[in-house]
Chain A
Amino acid sequence: MLSEARDTIVALSTPPGVGAVAIVRLSGPRALSLAQSRLEPRGADGTVLLHGRAQVRWLIRADGRRLDQALILAFHAPNSYTGEDVVEFHLHGSPWLVEELLADLRQEAVVAEPGEFTRRAVERGRLNLSQAEGVRALVEARSGLAHNLALRSLSGESGRRVQDLLQDLLDLLSLVEAELDFSEHEIEPTPVAELLSRAASALQRLESWRASWRLGRLSHGAQVVLVGEPNAGKSTLMNALLEDSRVLVDEEPGTTRDAIAQELRLGDLSITLWDTAGLRDTEGRVERQGVARTRELVEMADVILLLRAPNQPGIPELAQQESCLPVLSKADLVGAVADLRPGELAVSALSGVGLPELKAALHQRLVAEDWRSLDLVLTEARHVQLVDVATQCLRRFSAALEAELDRPLSAADLREAAEAVGAIVGGADFDDLYHLIFSRFCVGK
């Protein structure tokens, strides 16, 4: 919690449980003095905690009893993660030790709330909003893709792209506003074609960012759904992909009656793989619910693995979908290959034939483009929403210009677009407009 006289906060920064090392972190105005009071020898000259210098010292409780021999690392404000004084205790990774230390420090420091260290970093200006989002994404990254995109946010690279666009929009707005606030004697009107082309360039960037969400959302985990008629071999394929017998399999059609999710690592991607109830008209109430759930999953899937066993008709209406990757299962059956349809991948979960090809095709389908070359990849739903608003406003702006509607209407759209883009990085400053206007135009009678 934020408070007036800023608290010193403490928390375990490594995962709970047994490990080689556990790191407990202190941040706040009393971090240094509190740490010094917990080190042996107390009060002697050697207790000064220098910035960025690691020391191995005996860690003691408030009453002087020894707790652990630990590595102590101090960072002095403002050159720390939070911008405050920070001390890290690297303990031996025993949950009991950690609990003892926290209980002891809690007498003089408060337990940090989730994300509070990063929030303090933002408040102290050590990180901007977009970078903080990058930190969270980095911590949560479960795949190479997520990790890479988070690094981009953290480095401020994405933020700079957004700032560039914001600057371009404000520049465009200054051209439009200048004509509204000054007479034609003072301002040379900007040709409509130029206004339109500037808007088009901004739109183009917004649209490419929007398209990048297809990729960016994968950093939160891709959704891949196995779909097919009963007994198409979905559960068997799932187990094969996971290289584990996680799912119950049986020759009895309709064995899987509810959707089951498992995590699958595929190269730099983290995938949530769904096994589903086979699609068929059914009398069974439970199975009917399972089928309904399957249809929901199909809606949200990034890729549908559409399975068909040899001689099954398949589900043609799904096969048309763009997200669909058709698979012929049980390729080891006699005569199976004769039934292979164009575009289908033949896979045998039993023999493993076709599995590597399936994995490659799946990865290719999920990450078609080389994201490293993309200008910016949106990874937050909040940003996507703002990009959508800005896009909409810019389209209206251009349409109104072309239709020669009143200029103040176009200006209103453009301002809204700039507000939306600004909100991604923490706000647009419209007072900049006057600087832009006065530096470009000789106004004033």
Chain B
Amino acid sequence: MSHPPDNPGAGPGALEAGRSTWNLPDPAYDLVVAGAGHAGIEAALAGARLGLRTLLVSMSLQTIGQMSCNPAIGGVGKGQLVREIDALGGEMGRLADRAGLQFRMLNRSKGPAVWSPRAQSDKFRYAQLATQTLSDQPGLDLRQGLVTDLVLQQDRVVAVELAGGVRIRAGAVIVCAGTFLNGLLHVGASRSPGGRAGEPPALGLSEALARQGIEVRRYKTGTPPRVDRASIRFDAFDEQWGDAKPAPFRFYEDLISLPQQCCYATWTTPRTHEILSENLHRSPLFTGRIEGTGPRYCPSVEDKVVRFAEKDRHQLFLEPESLAGREMYVNGFSTSMPEDVQLAALRSVPGFEQARFTRPGYAIEYDYFPAWQMDVTLRMRGLANLFFAGQQNGTSGYEEASAQGLLAALNAAALLDHRDPVILGRDQAYIGVLLDDLVNKPLPEPYRMFTSRAEFRLLLRQDNADQRLMPLGHRLGLLEQWRWERFQVRQETRTRLLDWLAQTAINGRALLSQEPEPQVPQAHDNQRVEPNPAVDVPASTTQRATEWLKRPELTLHMLLQAAPEPWFTELDDDLITSVEVDIKYAGYVERQRRAVESFRRNEQVPLPEELDYKSLASLSTEARERLSLVRPRNLGQASRVGGVNPTDIQALWVHLQRRPQESPSSTTEDAVTPSD
């Protein structure tokens, strides 16, 4: 641990079990959420919307919903998370649409299974809309303050303590501290405590939790400088526009309204690399001043120059941060070099000769709590009602944080209402993959979502998140009623479309006579092979639309045009994509569904909560240790715990078979065998 030894924020050690002599003037809340970043916003809104009396505590009520790093929501793997959050009834998609300055469907050339929506955001608008939404939410109170401690009775948190000593009673607590816990900012050799540039760190809470035996570690991340728009020569750059027809994150409602903005692309120069290389001795990364581990997928520019010395240029993107301000975000130029080096290096890039920083780039080290200490509902083990969500769990990204905030709140509500926990499977949602990975795997770096983390990727698509998750959102009571009704109507339309495809015979001539589909010019879309219906289609053939659709070169749009029906106006893009992909990918989709079945077999073999892994001599030493820590819920989860191998799973399974038949849910009868 590299915490400063003198810690002014560490209050009196209130984390003492069994203390009962305190009086609370404040009203009690069902749920207290500490932190108003992306995880906290989602957690607080979901809590209140599910009927919990909820309090959101933030160090500053002026900085709710900040975009501390890039002014964008979504991206590959992340856009899917946003759509899932939306389908469950969460807020992020709605905020991102309303604050969106430029929308792109990434990966459009690579197949719908990996299409990923991303939007540039107006960071001021985003924060303002978030503040507004929280303020308008009935059942939700906001309070400025720094949570420094938790008050425990036995294994329950009964109150949070704010700096200054005020205590607020809570039925459940969700900690969403982001990068603020013992945050330390680095710019060159200069080091200053801070949770984000210009804001103080949160001190006290880490130590209080560590006293409870919760393990705390350090990660680091970084951000690029922001540059004054007025100091940039834009004609040196390539313009990058968004999709002509922006696709919203939110299902069934288009709230995109801001004027769409341009981004810019350019490259670093050999001179840039020289300047950086010559000054490595001044970089806190290379001089060992930064001890935390950073993400390999988000290296600083000095890191890129060192690790990929053979590349003579790296791409940079310039992104607007807001409509109101002049700041531009220099994507690709994350750095913690001294400010003079940052500036000299950036000015070596044509177009930036006169660049003026509005803020320099910096690196930040912060505390995180390895998530293997939590169960898959993000509840801290050994504490009945304390949840953790967001970056302080060892993730990175607004979307990953939001998803955790939402799930933590759903589970806090389930806990308080004595309902079953809400657990999404890896076969159901990226959110399920996220939480499952987080609590099971040892993470070598801050965790970010990739589509390749989802083994059932062909099933988990951005276009069908509503079908996958809205029924759950509705059942939990989070999804708005009108959207649920809309969902049901759409499902009928979907069935109607499938029937139509299965029954309608179309002659090849009707398809041939069509011009190739006018492709809406889409950004990023320079690789897509132009569909050419003339190839290989025997004109005289008449066959069912479903059969035509299986041909790679034909699209559902073309079939719909070949035999138009009035009700086609009810079809929207997501619906068309999801039906088209399900049919085109049918063989693969079917194979993944079968794989899901076999995956579920192990997921359905429960592992008793009280199982004493340490006494299971048939397990390898490492498996005993890891399983005791993680305490998986079922055999499937156990198989994904790092350090556990198939022999261990076999041994566990054998052990389960031999246990006395104490639980009625014993699986012996089903003869469920482990699939690995």
Q: Contacts A4-B615, A181-B452 given: A438-B297 contact, CB under 8 Å?
A: yes
A433 contacts which chain B residues (CB < 8 A)?
A: 452
Segment at the interface with B among A226-234, A266-274, A403-411? A403-411
> Shortest Cβ distance from B615 into chain A, in angstroms?
5
A6 within 8 A of B: yes
Partner of B646, one of A3, A406, A411, A426: A426
B106 contacts which chain A residues (CB < 8 A)?
A: 183
Q: Contacts A1-B658, A177-B452, A423-B676 given: A442-B620 contact, CB under 8 Å?
A: no
Interface contact B620-A125, CB-CB below 8 Å: yes
Distance in angstroms between the alpha carbons of A57 and B224 in the assembled complex: 77
> Shortest Cβ distance from A386 into chain B, in angstroms?
12
Interface contact B296-A180, CB-CB below 8 Å: no
Interface contact B76-A407, CB-CB below 8 Å: no
A4 contacts which chain B residues (CB < 8 A)?
A: 612, 615-617, 655
B458 contacts which chain A residues (CB < 8 A)?
A: 408-409, 412
Q: Contacts A445-B70, A445-B298 given: A431-B441 contact, CB under 8 Å?
A: yes
Instruction: Bin chain A's interface residue count.
Output: 35 or more
A390-406 interface mask toward B, CB cutoff 8 Å, 1 = contact, 0 = none? 00000000000001111
Interface contact A412-B588, CB-CB below 8 Å: yes
Interface contact B658-A180, CB-CB below 8 Å: no
Interface contact A183-B297, CB-CB below 8 Å: no
Interface contact A412-B457, CB-CB below 8 Å: yes
Interface contact B111-A183, CB-CB below 8 Å: no
Interface contact B315-A185, CB-CB below 8 Å: yes
> Shortest Cβ distance from A424 into chain B, in angstroms?
12
Interface contact B658-A443, CB-CB below 8 Å: no
Tally inter-chain residue pairs, CB-CB below 8 A: 127
A423 contacts which chain B residues (CB < 8 A)?
A: 676
A5 within 8 A of B: yes
B322 within 8 A of A: no
B455 within 8 A of A: yes
B617 contacts which chain A residues (CB < 8 A)?
A: 2-6
A179 within 8 A of B: yes
Interface contact A442-B645, CB-CB below 8 Å: no
Interface of B is mostly: loop
A252 within 8 A of B: no
B651 within 8 A of A: yes
A125 contacts which chain B residues (CB < 8 A)?
A: 620
B676 contacts which chain A residues (CB < 8 A)?
A: 423, 427
> Shortest Cβ distance from A305 into chain B, in angstroms?
42
Name which residue of chain A comes closest to B659, CB basis: A4
B111 contacts which chain A residues (CB < 8 A)?
A: 406-409
A182 contacts which chain B residues (CB < 8 A)?
A: 76
Name B270-329 residues within 8 Å CB distance of A.
295-299, 304, 307-308, 311, 314-315, 317
> Shortest Cβ distance from B487 into chain A, in angstroms?
26
B507 within 8 A of A: no
Interface contact B76-A181, CB-CB below 8 Å: yes
Distance in angstroms between the alpha carbons of A181 and B296 in the assembled complex: 14
Interface contact A2-B655, CB-CB below 8 Å: yes
Name which residue of chain B comes closest to A122, CB basis: B647
Name B551-605 residues within 8 Å CB distance of A.
552, 585, 588, 591-592
Distance in angstroms between the alpha carbons of A186 and B524 in the assembled complex: 13
Interface contact A406-B618, CB-CB below 8 Å: no
What are the 5 closest A-B residue pairs judged by CB atoms, nearest first?
A406-B111, A6-B617, A408-B113, A2-B618, A438-B296
Give me 30 A-to-B residue pairs in the complex whose CB atoms sit less than 8 angstroms apart, sorted by A's number.
Answer: A1-B658, A5-B615, A5-B617, A123-B618, A179-B110, A180-B76, A181-B114, A181-B450, A181-B452, A404-B552, A406-B111, A407-B111, A408-B113, A408-B451, A409-B588, A411-B457, A416-B591, A423-B676, A427-B645, A430-B452, A431-B441, A434-B296, A442-B304, A442-B314, A443-B297, A444-B295, A444-B298, A444-B332, A444-B334, A445-B331
Chain B interfacial positions (CB closer than 8 Å to A): 70, 76-77, 106-107, 110-114, 265, 295-299, 304, 307-308, 311, 314-315, 317, 331-332, 334, 441, 450-452, 455, 457-458, 524, 527, 529, 552, 585, 588, 591-592, 612, 615-620, 645-647, 651, 654-655, 658, 676
